[in-house]
């Protein structure tokens, strides 16, 4: 919306720009911005009346129009900053200090804020003291959710905060409600358990598991929202948990297993990923052999060792519908990449046959979760096969595919996007 309004203003259509801003303000329940836009709209209409009535010169009209345009841009910036602020809500945390202050004075406050600001690499003024409990060393801080994550990260790594000796930390549940609602992820349970008692900067293993799960969950949320910087960070949290024997000591669930594998492949850490598969597949709580062979097939596909990938896929005999879907999806990707590299007619037929069988299976099984997303994936992939076969105008069709991908709900969206982009 913001870019569209900028374009409209550039063409001198202030009336439509202000109407759009009003609609956006109403949708986002920004009453002040709505009123500001209404005032500028009134000014603009009065200006046009004056011009039509001949009560002002053309130069005066242009000067006043320019002032309204500037005011409109300022309102637009308010919407932009409000959106940024809503996407980065503040979290309140309560910390207990070891040192017994009789009077927590301004110097102590400054030392604490400076120490935590430096630790989480925040800018000056981004860490605020909201409250200090009278006659104690219990301090409530307010900081961005990402800085809260860095603080937890430092504590789980047993990092000391300069000369500030923190003995406990808890997160105020009410302060994260907005964050939880906006990101549509249930962090509440993790936060409720997040009360840490630290003795000499050491955290019990149970408390580290709580911390680590929170950090992983938060990082994966960023990854799913397209943040490349969090790909490495999320993998490092898993590695930290594995290296310190915080997680995966007895049993590994399939979701965590797949998360680790995909993160390692995305970071091109193939040797580490292969070692992980060999060591932890035996600890899976079910479908050990199938999960092992799917993982090996996935790595060999990423390494473009197609024959090895195919051999491991042949060994998969899924008993559950989820594993059956994963095998089909991986097999389709494998056959696509084989054809993409060879441009061989036989490989093309194998790929088309795989797509048709997969699509027929999906249409017959309506209860599959995300059924439509899988069908959309196959539809876009089939169109891409036609494009790279040279049967249509590549430039036009690639742009159409790109538009369809943005509009449709589909699995493997990132992979499809990278394939489409490679043919621009």
Residues 6+ apart with CB under 8 A from 263: 223, 231, 234, 235, 238
Residues 279 and 392 in one domain: no
**Model confidence, pTM:** 0.62
Residues 63 and 17 in one domain: yes
Residues 103 and 214 in one domain: yes
Residue 150 lies in a domain: yes
Residues 180 and 96 in one domain: yes
Residues 155 and 210 in one domain: yes
Residue 296 lies in a domain: yes
pLDDT of residue 29: 56
Q: Containing domain of residue 199, as a range?
A: 90-218
- pLDDT, tens only, 10-48: 555 667 767 777 676 666 556 666 667 777 777 777 887
Please state whether 412 falls in left (phi above 0), alpha (psi between -120 and 50) or beta. left
Cβ burial of 412 (10 Å; 0-12, 13-18, 19+) is: middle
Considering 295, 317, 339, which residue would you say is the last residue of a domain?
317
Residues 312 and 323 in one domain: no
Considering 218, 245, 272, which residue would you say is the last residue of a domain?
218
pLDDT of residue 22: 66
Total number of domains constituting the chain: 4
pLDDT of residue 184: 44
Residues 154 and 183 in one domain: yes
Residue 233 lies in a domain: no
Residues 117 and 187 in one domain: yes
pLDDT of residue 369: 61
Residues 204 and 112 in one domain: yes
Residue 111 lies in a domain: yes
pLDDT of residue 189: 44
Considering 317, 339, 357, which residue would you say is the last residue of a domain?
317
Residue 406 lies in a domain: yes
What 203-211 contacts at long range (C-beta under 8 Å, 24+ apart), as own/partner pairs, is 203/155, 203/156, 203/158, 205/246, 208/156, 208/241, 208/244, 208/246, 209/241, 209/246, 209/247, 211/152, 211/155, 211/156
Q: How many CA atoms are closer than 13 Å to the CA of 230, on its beta-carbon side?
A: 16
Residues 101 and 210 in one domain: yes
Residue 299 lies in a domain: yes
Residues 94 and 210 in one domain: yes
Within the chain, which residues score under 50 in pLDDT?
A: 83-87, 173, 176, 184-201
Residues 13 and 94 in one domain: no
pLDDT of residue 310: 96
pLDDT of residue 85: 42
């Amino acid at each position: 919306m913001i870019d569209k309004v900028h374009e409209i203003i550039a063409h001198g259509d202030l009336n439509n720009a202000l109407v759009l801003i009003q609609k956006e303000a109403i949708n986002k329940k920004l009453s002040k911005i709505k009123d500001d836009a209404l005032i500028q709209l009134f000014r603009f209409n009065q200006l046009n009346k004056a011009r039509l009535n001949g009560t002002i010169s053309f130069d005066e009209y242009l000067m006043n129009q320019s002032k309204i345009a500037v005011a409109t841009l300022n309102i637009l910036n308010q919407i932009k900053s409000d959106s940024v602020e809503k996407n980065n809500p503040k979290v309140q945390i309560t910390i207990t200090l070891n040192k017994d202050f009789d009077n927590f004075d301004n110097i102590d406050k400054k030392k604490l804020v400076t120490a935590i600001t430096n630790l989480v690499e925040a800018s000056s003024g981004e860490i605020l003291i909201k409250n200090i409990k009278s006659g104690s060393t219990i301090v409530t801080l307010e900081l961005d959710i990402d800085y809260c994550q860095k603080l937890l990260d430092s504590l789980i790594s047993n990092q000391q905060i300069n000369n500030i000796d923190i003995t406990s930390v808890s997160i105020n549940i009410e302060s994260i409600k907005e964050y939880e609602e906006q990101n549509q992820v249930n962090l509440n349970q993790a936060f409720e358990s997040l009360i840490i008692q630290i003795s000499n900067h050491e955290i019990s293993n149970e408390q580290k598991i709580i911390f680590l799960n929170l950090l992983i969950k938060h990082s994966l949320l960023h990854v799913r929202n397209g943040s490349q910087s969090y790909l490495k960070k999320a993998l490092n949290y898993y590695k930290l948990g594995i290296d310190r024997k915080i997680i995966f000591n007895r049993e590994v669930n399939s979701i965590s297993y797949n998360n680790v594998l995909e993160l390692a492949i995305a970071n091109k850490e193939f040797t580490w990923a292969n070692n992980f598969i060999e060591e932890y597949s035996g600890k899976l709580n079910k479908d050990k052999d199938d999960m092992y062979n799917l993982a090996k097939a996935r790595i060999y596909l990423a390494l473009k060792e197609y024959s090895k990938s195919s051999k491991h896929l042949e060994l998969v005999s899924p008993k559950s519908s989820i594993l059956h879907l994963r095998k089909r999806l991986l097999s389709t990707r494998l056959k696509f990449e084989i054809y993409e590299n060879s441009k061989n007619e036989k490989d093309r037929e194998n790929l088309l046959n795989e797509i048709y069988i997969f699509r027929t299976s999906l249409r017959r099984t309506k209860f599959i979760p995300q059924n439509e997303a899988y069908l959309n994936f196959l539809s876009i992939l089939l169109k891409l096969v036609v494009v790279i076969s040279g049967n249509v105008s590549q430039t036009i069709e690639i742009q159409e595919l790109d538009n369809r991908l943005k509009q449709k709900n589909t699995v493997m969206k990132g992979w499809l996007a990278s394939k489409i982009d490679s043919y621009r």
